[in-house]
């Protein structure tokens, strides 16, 4: 029997790498989808490429969507532009979880899930995996379970298969209720090589992670919680917990 197909949103970070490993462990033929959307750092896409290959994705498509043309967010703007808010540094867990951060990209997950939906319909895939995590990213509206459920209801009305009653689309968010430490432990069990993944919002020129932005802070806390060492390189002198 042919493997069932799934579209897996893959950012190059550790959450989506773990989501891909879960899709593969459930027996899906994984079609990995990344976006060149005006991120500050193309290193994310290189990480996604390596992760897709290492975890046996059937294919990996990088789609161009220039979200910069629509403005907004510290993550998609020119880092050299003084009008762009700086990536916050050195914040604790409570600060990271509170409110909507400047690194929020308007409607990003909606745009990404919509494009995943277009691809799923073309492939005949009924499952879309997304590595959103409600515990660490409660400040992002489009990471919450009620948002994912609403997207799925909309998707069922949007597609040919849904309308013809042939196939319900499933938006799979397997990490939703997991802590970062639980995610890292689960991925490690499934053979994820986290040295290939990338999280930092503000890397050093030499390619080391900063160890201080929200994303590094969550990552480092997760590895500490999991009782594992983070295999990536951090900027010398940063508080990497090692």
Binding site for a copy of itself (CB under 8 A): 61, 63-67, 69-72, 100, 104-111, 113-115, 117-119, 121-123, 141-142, 144, 146-147, 150-151, 153-160, 162-164
Closer CB to a copy of itself, 147 or 198, in the complex: 147
Closer CB to a copy of itself, 125 or 216, in the complex: 125
User: Min. distance of Cβ 160 from a copy of itself in angstroms?
Assistant: 5
Q: What is d(CA 191, CA 211) in angstroms, rounded to the nearest whole number?
A: 24
Q: Residue 16: which of 148, 105, 92, 130 has the closest Cα?
A: 130
Q: What is d(CA 210, CA 201) in angstroms, rounded to the nearest whole number?
A: 8
Closer CB to a copy of itself, 99 or 207, in the complex: 99
Q: What is d(CA 75, CA 102) in angstroms, rounded to the nearest whole number?
A: 8
Q: What is d(CA 103, CA 92) in angstroms, rounded to the nearest whole number?
A: 16
User: Min. distance of Cβ 34 from a copy of itself in angstroms?
Assistant: 11
User: Min. distance of Cβ 109 from a copy of itself in angstroms?
Assistant: 7
User: Min. distance of Cβ 79 from a copy of itself in angstroms?
Assistant: 18
The full length of the chain comes to 242
Closer CB to a copy of itself, 87 or 169, in the complex: 169
Cβ 234 vs Cβ 208: under 8 Å: yes
């Amino acid at each position: 029997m042919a493997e069932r197909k799934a579209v897996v949103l893959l950012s190059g970070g550790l959450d989506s790498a773990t989501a891909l490993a879960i899709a593969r462990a459930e027996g899906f033929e994984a079609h990995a989808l990344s976006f060149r959307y005006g991120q500050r750092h193309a290193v994310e896409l290189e990480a996604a490429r390596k992760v897709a290959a290492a975890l046996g994705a059937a294919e990996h498509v990088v789609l161009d969507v220039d979200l910069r043309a629509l403005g907004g967010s510290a993550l998609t703007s020119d880092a050299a532009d003084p009008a762009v808010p700086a990536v916050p540094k050195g914040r604790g867990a409570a600060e990271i979880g509170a409110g909507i951060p400047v690194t929020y990209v308007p409607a990003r997950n909606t745009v990404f899930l919509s494009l995943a939906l277009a691809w799923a319909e073309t492939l005949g895939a009924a499952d879309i995996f997304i590595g959103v995590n409600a515990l660490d990213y409660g400040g992002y509206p489009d990471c919450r379970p009620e948002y994912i459920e609403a997207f799925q209801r909309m998707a069922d009305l949007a597609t040919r298969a849904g309308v013809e009653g042939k196939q319900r689309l499933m938006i799979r968010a397997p990490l939703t209720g997991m802590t970062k430490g639980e995610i890292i432990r689960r991925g490690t069990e499934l053979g994820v090589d986290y040295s290939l993944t990338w999280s930092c919002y503000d890397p050093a020129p030499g390619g080391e992670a900063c160890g201080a932005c929200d994303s590094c802070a969550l990552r480092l806390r997760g590895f500490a919680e999991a009782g594992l060492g983070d295999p990536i390189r951090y900027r010398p002198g940063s508080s990497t917990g090692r």
